[in-house]
């Protein structure tokens, strides 16, 4: 696992099937993460809206230690396109198990 980076999960305080999937995968692989709730934090809510075009959770971000922002540029989406499961570099939104596992492996969180 990269020591200079950490995982941030933008989430909500109430249930969501994609959040449940993400937490299950992260728990299975013993990956620590920082959870930021977009329904309690207006800045976080706006970030997710800016990044995805929607209030899509979970939006997972690989950030420098001490930050909650992507460590590098995020691959843009076409306007109105769904962000679901699209690998955008340091950001992934609403991924299924396979998409999330592949993304975490690519970034060194799973060997």
pLDDT tens digits, residue range 55-88?
999 999 999 999 999 999 999 998 889 999 999 9
The share of the chain scoring above pLDDT 70, in percent, equals 98
Q: What is the pTM assigned to this prediction?
A: 0.95
Q: The domain spanning residue 10 has which CATH number?
A: 3.40.30.10
Residue 64 maps to a domain: yes
Residue 61 maps to a domain: yes
**Residue 99 in tokens:** 């998409």
Residue 111 maps to a domain: no
Residue 91 maps to a domain: yes
pLDDT reading at 50 higher than 70: yes
Element (H, E) at 59: strand 59-64
Three-point CA angle 79, 70, 81, nearest 5°: 15
**Whole-number pLDDT of residue 1:** 64
- Overall average pLDDT of the 4-27 stretch: 96
- Domain extent for 27: 5-106
Cα distance between residue 21 and residue 58, in whole Å: 9
- Tally of domains within the chain: 1
């Amino acid at each position: 696992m990269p020591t200079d980076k950490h995982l941030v999960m933008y989430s909500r305080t109430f249930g969501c099937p994609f959040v449940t999937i993400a937490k299950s995968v992260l728990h299975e692989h013993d990956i620590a993460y920082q959870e930021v709730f977009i329904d309690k934090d207006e800045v976080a809510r706006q970030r997710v809206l800016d990044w995805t075009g929607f209030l899509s959770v979970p939006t997972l971000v690989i950030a420098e230690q001490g930050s909650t922002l992507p460590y590098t540029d995020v691959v843009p989406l076409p306007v109105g396109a769904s962000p679901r499961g699209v690998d955008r570099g340091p950001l992934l939104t609403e991924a299924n198990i396979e998409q999330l596992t592949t993304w975490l492996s690519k970034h060194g969180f799973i060997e």
